[in-house]
């Protein structure tokens, strides 16, 4: 056996060589080291403390079972807060009463679902017993259609603009990305302030129209602004993905097109769009799934109002289960399972498209 | 002539002329900067206005407030106005009181008996001033420092836990072959798309069973084992060569030592991306804390801010200032790490 002292040293050398070889290069390695040094002390201390007991554990259960030790904490939390609840959710939806603890809940079969689906005319939410559920469904469908279409369209235009050879591209990329990081509550409050009666928007346009519009009080405008605000907040994210897709299109294709004297318009439809399509699909599906789950920014911006004009499906679940005097957990669970089924269908469509198109 | 000027103005390096698309591009980018930063800038400027400045219509961009002056013989400082005198000259005077359309005014320099001035003949004298009390009052009198502290605790503790348990799991799932590995992976990836809104009721039950309702742990733990984090870290760790691990084992390193002395340092770039994600998720989290936390002193900033704007519908000056406080940390993180963030997101497709 060769001399064994410098294991740590050797590893560190190897590690450093590897990091340096990584794409980000020297600068990233430097910032990593800085990042490391800040966290290193408490981290190294805790880890060193665990070293002895962990060695004991390894001796007792053997090296072959060690992966379980590593996976276990994550799995425990994951199982407790995701997997188990998935099953309990079904149980809730087939039991009634207002008690939180499953043992005290009487079995009611499909009563909750019957209640949700009890409608005289499915096209008219007011004829349903749970009219707020159906109102939420229709609002969500409307919201998703226009939000996804508008947002992906604007994101595409932005990505195309950012893909041109312009100075300061990194700056502009972050400009469009900045609102993505803001919390939904902050986003909603920023716009609530602009859209209020004496707000900035009315100051700009009341000179032309002559009167002040109550943007969040008129149902049609409220829906328009809810869609616009959520587009504003999230488009940067999809722009980034589309931009990455655009940049992976080989440049010589464009050169060849230019040499042939192809018009820009034709180049766009014949080269850019077909090659961007796989990325586009990912973006569409991600945006769709996110959009169906929208809650926070709408809740803070309009509270679902005026009336129920902008109340989406997640808000219905939240209010049925947690925000009313009588907490109807069963009904909320049933509604959330309906939502889950919708999401599952969307995910399956994604997988279907994914397998059909090969790898993205 | 005009043609020549235009040619000169649009001349570019390399001899190429400006194409119409160039102009459209720059127009779009400028509009983008205005649309994306404008609303935030407007919020920041508004947060420095006094209550009186906020209800002014049409609003001004900069925070102005009316100048006030202490006048002999009056307890309170009096607001200053520029008054158009009957002879056409203008004079700065302090208003004592206003009755209907008539104001009673005095000269602040030598206060005599008040003279009557018509309402429309006076304009307020204003100066640029930042109303810092919008920030100080809610932080001192309301629970906002508490909310801020809660948010900081939730964000740091949760990010720390997430990083440790996710990297451990990713290590176990990427560097070992064992029975059950595939099923664990399938489970984790299968739940990537399950949002908290779908399993809200039963998670609430579980949290109640553990006695964690109205405790910050109830906010921290349920989201700690992120499938996205495990997935991201595992993909990265797969690229670390196995020979390194074998060499360490030959040198009598325990598996735990391999994890924290080799894997973690080498996976730092991926851990940094996950850390940024986690900070972003936790700081901005709203629906789950809203469900779990019902006691005011446990609110996180987001929940507190929402409660605050519901309670004090009219107190926009405080709401705006506290919104700025809420968005500042994330803005700083972004300003310093934006390259990390944008490349991280572009390469993983996650938010």
Instruction: Give per-residue pLDDT as tens, A209-264.
Output: 777 788 888 888 999 999 999 999 999 889 988 988 888 888 888 888 888 888 88
DSSP B91: E
Q: Where are the alpha helices (DSSP H) in chain A?
A: 7-21, 25-61, 66-78, 84-93, 111-117, 131-162, 169-181, 184-195, 200-209, 219-247, 251-259, 264-267, 273-292, 296-301, 313-318, 329-356
- Nearest one of A156, A196, A149, A138 to A316, comparing CA atoms: A138
The per-residue pLDDT for A203 is 80
Per the CB < 8 Å rule, is B59 touching A18?
Answer: no
The per-residue pLDDT for A14 is 46
User: Which residues of chain A have a CB within 8 Å of the CB of B168?
Assistant: 70-71, 73-74
Rounded average pLDDT over A186-195:
90
DSSP B213: T
- Nearest one of B104, B130, B128 to B117, comparing CA atoms: B104
Per the CB < 8 Å rule, is A70 touching B287?
Answer: no
Whether the per-residue pLDDT at A4 is higher than 70: the answer is no
A322/chain B closest Cα distance in angstroms? 7
The per-residue pLDDT for B98 is 76
Domain assignment present for residue A150? The answer is: yes
User: Which residues of chain B have a CB within 8 Å of the CB of A78?
Assistant: 187-188, 191, 225, 227
Whether the per-residue pLDDT at B157 is higher than 90: the answer is yes
Same domain membership, residue A318 and residue A181: yes
What's the CATH number where A346 sits? 1.10.3720.10
Same domain membership, residue A313 and residue A207: yes
Nearest CA in chain A to B328: A182
The sign of the CA dihedral B91, B96, B98, B101 is negative
How far, rounded to the nearest angstrom, does the alpha carbon of residue A206 sit from its chain's CA centroid?
36
Can you say whether residue A62 is alpha, beta or left, with left for phi > 0 and alpha for psi between -120 and 50 degrees?
Answer: left
Same domain membership, residue A135 and residue A57: no
Can you say whether residue B59 is alpha, beta or left, with left for phi > 0 and alpha for psi between -120 and 50 degrees?
Answer: beta
The CA distances from residue A115 to A37, A154, A335, A359, B198, in Å, are 59, 40, 10, 43, 19
The Cα–Cα gap between A279 and A177 comes to 18
Domain residue ranges in chain B: 2-46, 64-128, 135-348
Here the tokens at position A223 are 């829906």
Please, are residues B286 and A183 in contact by the beta-carbon 8 Å criterion? yes
* Option in A85, A180, A202 nearest B206 (CB): A85
Whether the per-residue pLDDT at B15 is higher than 60: the answer is no
Report percent pLDDT > 90 for chain A: 13
The Cα–Cα gap between B196 and A81 comes to 10
Same domain membership, residue A48 and residue A140: no
Higher pLDDT, A268 or B52: A268
The per-residue pLDDT for B12 is 56
Here the tokens at position B55 are 């209800």
The Cα–Cα gap between A98 and A104 comes to 9
Q: For B64-128, CATH number?
A: 2.30.30
Domain assignment present for residue A349? The answer is: yes
- Nearest one of B285, B320, B319 to B300, comparing CA atoms: B285
Q: Does B9 touch chain A (CB under 8 A)?
A: no
Domain assignment present for residue A204? The answer is: yes
The per-residue pLDDT for A147 is 95
Rounded average pLDDT over A150-160:
94
Ranked by mean pLDDT, the top range of A17-26, A80-89, A119-128 is: A80-89
Rounded average pLDDT over B145-170:
92
Per the CB < 8 Å rule, is B305 touching A186?
Answer: yes
Per the CB < 8 Å rule, is A237 touching B351?
Answer: yes
Interface of B with A in 322-341 (CB under 8 A): 323, 326-327, 330-331, 333-334, 338-339, 341
- Nearest one of A346, A338, A341 to A93, comparing CA atoms: A338
DSSP B97: E
A41-45, B23-27, B343-347: lowest mean pLDDT where?
Answer: B343-347
User: Number of folded domains in chain A?
Assistant: 2
The model's confidence at residue B235, banded by pLDDT at 50, 70 and 90, is: confident
**pLDDT of B66-96, one tens digit each?**
777 777 777 777 777 777 777 777 777 777 7
A121/chain B closest Cα distance in angstroms? 27
* Option in A12, A80, A183 nearest B286 (CB): A183
* Option in B25, B198, B330 nearest A181 (CB): B330
A122/chain B closest Cα distance in angstroms? 23
* Final residue before a domain boundary, out of A61, A86, A107: A61
Return mean pLDDT, chain B. Answer: 82
Per the CB < 8 Å rule, is A185 touching B35?
Answer: no
Domain assignment present for residue A172? The answer is: yes
The CA distances from residue A128 to A19, A78, A120, A324, B138, in Å, are 61, 37, 6, 20, 45
User: Which residues of chain A have a CB within 8 Å of the CB of B33?
Assistant: 172, 175
Number of other CB atoms surrounding residue B72 within 10 Å: 9
**pLDDT of B173-202, one tens digit each?**
998 888 888 888 888 877 776 777 788 888
Same domain membership, residue A318 and residue A174: yes
The Cα–Cα gap between A332 and A318 comes to 7
A178/chain B closest Cα distance in angstroms? 7
B74 CB-near residues (< 8 Å, 6+ apart) = B96, B111
User: Which residues of chain B have a CB within 8 Å of the CB of A282?
Assistant: 349
Per the CB < 8 Å rule, is B205 touching A161?
Answer: no
Whether residue A306 is preceded by a cis peptide bond, meaning omega within 30 degrees of 0, is yes
Number of other CB atoms surrounding residue B197 within 10 Å: 22
Domain assignment present for residue A162? The answer is: yes
Domain assignment present for residue A299? The answer is: yes
Here the tokens at position A214 are 């109550």
Per the CB < 8 Å rule, is B172 touching A67?
Answer: yes
Per the CB < 8 Å rule, is B168 touching A74?
Answer: yes
Domain assignment present for residue A298? The answer is: yes
The per-residue pLDDT for B150 is 93
The sign of the CA dihedral A97, A100, A103, A104 is negative
Whether the per-residue pLDDT at A59 is higher than 70: the answer is yes
Please, are residues A311 and A291 in contact by the beta-carbon 8 Å criterion? no
The per-residue pLDDT for B11 is 56
The per-residue pLDDT for A1 is 34
The sign of the CA dihedral B291, B295, B298, B299 is positive
* Option in A158, A173, A186 nearest B327 (CB): A186
The count of CB pairs under 8 A between chains A and B is 297
Same domain membership, residue A24 and residue A137: no
Interface of B with A in 174-203 (CB under 8 A): 175-176, 178, 181, 184, 187-188, 191, 193-195, 197-203
What are residue B123's DSSP bridge partners?
B82
Per the CB < 8 Å rule, is B198 touching A203?
Answer: no
User: Which residues of chain A have a CB within 8 Å of the CB of B319?
Assistant: 189
Same domain membership, residue A167 and residue A48: no
The model's confidence at residue B296, banded by pLDDT at 50, 70 and 90, is: confident
The Cα–Cα gap between A158 and A156 comes to 5
Here the tokens at position B87 are 């002879």
Higher pLDDT, B106 or B203: B203
Interface of B with A in 208-237 (CB under 8 A): 208, 221-225, 227, 230
Rounded average pLDDT over A26-47:
63
Chosen CATH of B135-348 out of 1.10.3720.10, 3.30.450.70, 3.40.50.720, 1.10.1030.10 = 1.10.3720.10
A232 CB-near residues (< 8 Å, 6+ apart) = A179, A187, A191, B35, B36, B39
Per the CB < 8 Å rule, is B169 touching A47?
Answer: no
Number of other CB atoms surrounding residue A87 within 10 Å: 10
B70 CB-near residues (< 8 Å, 6+ apart) = B77, B78
Same domain membership, residue A342 and residue A232: yes
Rounded average pLDDT over A282-291:
84
* Option in A77, A100, A236 nearest B165 (CB): A77
User: Which residues of chain A have a CB within 8 Å of the CB of B320?
Assistant: 189, 193
Residue whose token pair is 């799991």: B169
The model's confidence at residue A148, banded by pLDDT at 50, 70 and 90, is: very high
The sign of the CA dihedral A124, A128, A132, A134 is negative
The per-residue pLDDT for A20 is 41
Q: Best of B201, B249, B266, B292 to disrupt the A interface by mutation (most A CBs within 10 Å)?
A: B201
- Nearest one of B157, B193, B133 to B300, comparing CA atoms: B157
Whether residue A162 is preceded by a cis peptide bond, meaning omega within 30 degrees of 0, is no
CA-atom Rg of chain B in angstroms: 31
The CA distances from residue B49 to B46, B64, B107, B118, B314, in Å, are 5, 7, 28, 28, 14
Q: Render A181-221 in DSSP notation, one character per residue.
A: HS-HHHHHHHHHHHHSTTSHHHHHHHHHHSS---TTTSHHH
B338/chain A closest Cα distance in angstroms? 7
The per-residue pLDDT for B164 is 92
Domain assignment present for residue A105? The answer is: no
The Cα–Cα gap between A1 and B240 comes to 25
The CA distances from residue A328 to A93, A97, A208, A333, B10, in Å, are 10, 7, 49, 9, 67
Q: Best of B184, B192, B198 to disrupt the A interface by mutation (most A CBs within 10 Å)?
A: B198
Nearest CA in chain B to A241: B346
Residue whose token pair is 């001349």: B11
Nearest CA in chain A to B30: A172
* Three-state secondary-structure class, residue B313: coil
Report percent pLDDT > 70 for chain A: 86
Please, are residues B59 and A200 in contact by the beta-carbon 8 Å criterion? yes
Nearest CA in chain B to A55: B254
DSSP B95: E
**pLDDT of A289-344, one tens digit each?**
889 888 888 998 988 878 888 999 899 988 888 887 788 888 888 988 888 888 88
Q: Best of A80, A81, A207 to disrupt the B interface by mutation (most B CBs within 10 Å)?
A: A81
* Option in A71, A175, A286 nearest B36 (CB): A175
Here the tokens at position B31 are 């509009």
* Final residue before a domain boundary, out of A41, A61, A81: A61
Please, are residues B188 and B231 in contact by the beta-carbon 8 Å criterion? yes
The per-residue pLDDT for B153 is 94
Return mean pLDDT, chain A. Answer: 81
End-to-end CA gap in chain B: 54
Q: Best of A78, A211, A293 to disrupt the B interface by mutation (most B CBs within 10 Å)?
A: A78
Rounded average pLDDT over A177-201:
87
The pTM for the full model equals: 0.80
**pLDDT of B301-324, one tens digit each?**
899 888 887 765 567 888 888 889
User: Which residues of chain A have a CB within 8 Å of the CB of B256?
Assistant: 47, 50-51, 54-55, 58
Q: Which domain holds residue A30?
A: 7-61
At residue A148, what are phi and psi to the nearest 5 degrees? -65, -45
The per-residue pLDDT for A352 is 75
What are residue B97's DSSP bridge partners?
B104
Query: Which helix (H) or strand (E) is B115 found in, with range?
Result: strand B115-118
* Option in A32, A80, A191 nearest B206 (CB): A80
The Cα–Cα gap between B340 and B346 comes to 10
* Option in B166, B248, B268 nearest A11 (CB): B248
């Amino acid at each position: 056996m060769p001399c064994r002292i410098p294991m740590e040293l050797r590893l560190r050398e190897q590690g450093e060589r590897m990091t340096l070889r990584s794409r980000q290069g020297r600068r990233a390695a430097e910032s990593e080291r800085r990042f490391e040094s800040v966290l290193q002390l408490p981290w190294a201390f805790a880890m060193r403390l665990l070293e002895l007991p962990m060695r004991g554990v390894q001796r007792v259960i053997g090296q072959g079972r060690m992966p379980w030790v590593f996976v276990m904490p994550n799995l425990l939390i994951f199982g407790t807060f995701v997997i188990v609840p998935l099953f309990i959710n079904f149980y809730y939806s087939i039991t009634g009463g207002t008690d939180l603890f499953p043992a005290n809940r009487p079995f009611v079969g499909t009563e909750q679902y019957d209640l949700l689906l009890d409608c005289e005319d499915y096209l008219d939410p007011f004829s349903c017993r749970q009219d707020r559920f159906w109102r939420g469904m229709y609002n969500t469908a409307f919201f998703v259609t226009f939000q996804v279409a508008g947002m992906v369209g604007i994101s595409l235009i932005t990505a195309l603009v950012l893909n041109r050879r312009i100075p300061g591209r990194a700056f502009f990329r972050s400009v469009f990305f900045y609102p993505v990081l803001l919390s939904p509550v902050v986003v909603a409050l920023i716009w609530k302030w602009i859209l209020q009666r004496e707000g900035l928007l009315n100051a700009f346009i009341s000179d032309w129209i002559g009167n002040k519009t109550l943007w969040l009080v008129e149902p049609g405008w409220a829906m328009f602004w809810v869609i616009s605000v959520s587009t504003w907040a999230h488009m940067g994210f999809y722009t980034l993905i589309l931009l990455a897709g655009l940049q992976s299109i080989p440049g010589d294709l464009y050169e060849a097109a230019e040499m042939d004297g192809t018009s820009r318009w034709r180049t766009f439809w014949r080269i850019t769009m077909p090659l961007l399509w796989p990325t586009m699909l990912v973006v569409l599906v991600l945006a769709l799934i996110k959009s169906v789950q929208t809650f926070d920014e709408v809740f803070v911006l309009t509270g679902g109002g005026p009336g129920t004009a902008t109340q989406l499906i997640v808000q219905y679940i939240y209010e049925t289960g947690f925000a009313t005097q009588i907490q109807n957990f069963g009904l909320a669970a049933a509604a959330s399972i309906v939502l889950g089924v919708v999401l599952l269908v969307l995910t399956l469509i994604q997988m279907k498209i994914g397998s059909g198109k090969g790898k993205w | 002539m005009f043609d020549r000027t235009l040619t000169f103005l649009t001349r570019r390096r390399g001899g190429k002329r400006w194409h119409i698309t160039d102009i459209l591009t720059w127009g779009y980018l400028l509009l983008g900067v205005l649309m994306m930063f404008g609303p935030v800038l407007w919020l920041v400027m508004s947060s420095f206005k006094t209550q009186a400045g906020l209800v002014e219509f049409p609003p001004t961009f900069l925070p102005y407030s009316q100048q006030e002056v202490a006048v002999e013989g009056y307890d309170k400082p009096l607001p200053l106005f520029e008054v158009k005198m009957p002879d056409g000259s203008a004079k700065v005077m302090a208003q004592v009181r206003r009755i209907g359309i008539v104001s009673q005014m005095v000269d602040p320099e030598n206060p005599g008996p008040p003279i009557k001035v018509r309402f429309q003949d006076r304009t307020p004298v204003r100066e640029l001033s930042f109303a810092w009390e919008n920030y100080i009052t809610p932080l001192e009198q309301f629970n906002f420092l508490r909310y801020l502290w809660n948010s900081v605790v939730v964000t740091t503790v949760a990010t720390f836990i997430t990083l440790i348990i996710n990297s451990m799991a990713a290590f176990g799932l990427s560097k070992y072959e064992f029975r059950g590995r595939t099923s664990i992976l399938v489970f984790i990836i299968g739940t990537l798309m399950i949002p908290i809104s779908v399993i809200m009721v039963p998670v609430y039950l579980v949290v109640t069973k553990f006695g964690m309702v109205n405790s910050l742990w109830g906010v921290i733990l349920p989201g700690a084992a992120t499938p996205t984090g495990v997935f991201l870290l595992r993909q990265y760790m797969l690229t670390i060569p196995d020979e390194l691990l074998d060499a360490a084992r030959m040198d009598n390193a325990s598996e735990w030592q391999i994890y924290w002395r080799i894997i973690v340092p080498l996976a730092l770039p991926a851990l940094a991306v996950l850390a940024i994600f986690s900070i972003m998720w936790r700081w901005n989290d709203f629906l789950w804390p809203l469900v779990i936390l019902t006691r005011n002193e446990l609110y996180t900033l987001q929940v507190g801010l929402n409660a605050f704007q519901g309670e004090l519908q009219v107190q926009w000056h405080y709401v705006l200032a506290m919104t700025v406080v809420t968005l500042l940390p994330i803005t700083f993180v972004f300003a310093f790490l934006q390259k990390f963030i944008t490349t991280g997101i572009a390469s993983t497709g996650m938010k």
